[in-house]
């Protein structure tokens, strides 16, 4: 497996950058993710970092060297990360829980799966055309889906989310895939600081016309200029799937040994004292909790159906 990858994160007009990004891979599978810690809640940078490290820990455990079920892995991984945030807030006695959005993708066997919660996005560009894009969990996207384009307050609602990781209720998680990749396909995951200041058409045209090492920093700089002094943080991670030509910033997983694992997802500077790592027991406990919650939800629905 061979792919090109380029990632960049820039602080806008905010006090600190709460975005996090990263990827990890084995010989036959790759995980890529972007998380955007939410302002207005405590420790957004911890929330985004914790989600990425939870996903990376589970990927290292389960990809041997492939994932048995990439879709299930992404679903469970996001929900387990959500539980980790709730535990972290409870353990520290916080009055409010750290919260974050997330978008993550797995590439394996020439196919891609992805998942998202909130308004961090994934774009898939093929032969110069937008092949797929995630739909934000925001009120403005909901209004558009309901055919209420132009509704008063839609611009304000663009940044108002109805789900995220770390909130008290069960998060809404949308999944896509598997989608067969073609040579030259480009996947880009980004925070709303990018797509909120650069149109989809412009993002697609830049990804299509230039190599990712030129297109991604150019679009990030464009977003910062358009956003002005109060611009949100801007983060993007782009992947170019293997083709006939050598991709830019190429990563060849063949360099790894059979059970090898490599990752760029590590504790950020100043966060080494935070308890962000998961051990085997925690992962197993979280999986059992999710399975029990799903079982109870199904039993409740079945009971309600029998009464109706």
Q: What is the pLDDT along the chain (308 residues), one digit of tens a residue?
A: 889 999 999 999 998 999 999 999 999 999 999 999 998 898 999 999 999 999 999 999 999 999 999 999 999 999 999 999 999 999 999 999 999 999 999 999 999 999 999 999 999 999 999 999 999 999 888 777 676 655 444 454 567 899 999 999 899 999 999 999 999 999 999 999 999 999 999 999 999 999 999 999 999 999 999 999 999 999 999 999 985 456 666 787 877 876 689 999 975 544 443 444 555 566 666 666 655 655 565 566 566 666 65
Question: Could you give the CA distance from residue 112 to residue 242 in angstroms, rounded to a whole number?
Answer: 13
The answer to whether 28 and 132 are in contact (CB under 8 A) is no
At residue 256, the pLDDT reads 82
Q: Nearest Cα to 235, choosing from 212, 219, 211? A: 219
Could you state, in order of their start, the residue ranges of all structural domains in the chain? 2-275, 278-308
The fold for domain 2-275 equals Phosphatase 2c; domain 1 (3.60.40)
């Amino acid at each position: 497996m061979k792919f090109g990858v380029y990632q960049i994160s820039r602080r806008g007009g905010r006090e600190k950058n709460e975005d996090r990004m990263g990827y990890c891979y084995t010989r036959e599978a790759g995980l890529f993710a972007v998380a955007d810690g939410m302002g207005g809640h405590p420790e957004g940078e911890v929330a985004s970092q914790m989600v990425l490290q939870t996903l990376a820990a589970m990927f290292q455990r389960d990809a041997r060297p492939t994932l048995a079920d990439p879709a299930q892995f992404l679903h469970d991984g996001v929900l387990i990360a959500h539980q980790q945030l709730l535990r972290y807030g409870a353990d520290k006695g916080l009055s409010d829980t750290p919260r974050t959005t997330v978008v993550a993708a797995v590439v394996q066997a020439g196919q891609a799966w992805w998942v998202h919660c909130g308004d961090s996005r994934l774009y898939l560009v093929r032969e110069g055309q937008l092949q797929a894009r995630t739909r934000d969990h925001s009120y403005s996207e909901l209004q558009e889906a309901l055919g209420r384009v132009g509704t008063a307050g839609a611009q304000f609602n663009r940044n108002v989310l109805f789900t995220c990781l770390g909130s008290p209720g069960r998060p809404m998680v949308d999944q896509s895939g598997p989608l067969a990749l073609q040579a030259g396909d480009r996947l880009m995951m980004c925070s709303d600081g990018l797509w909120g200041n650069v149109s989809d058409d412009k993002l697609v045209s830049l990804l299509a016309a230039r190599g990712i090492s030129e297109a991604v920093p150019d679009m990030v700089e464009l977003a910062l200029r358009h956003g002005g002094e109060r611009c949100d943080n801007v983060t993007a991670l782009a992947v170019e799937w293997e083709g006939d030509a050598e991709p830019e910033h190429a990563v060849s997983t063949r360099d790894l040994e059979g059970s090898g694992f490599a990752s760029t997802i590590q504790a950020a500077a100043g966060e080494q004292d935070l308890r962000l790592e998961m051990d085997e027991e925690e992962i197993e406990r979280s999986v059992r909790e999710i399975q029990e919650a799903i079982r109870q939800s199904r039993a409740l629905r079945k009971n309600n159906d029998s009464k109706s």
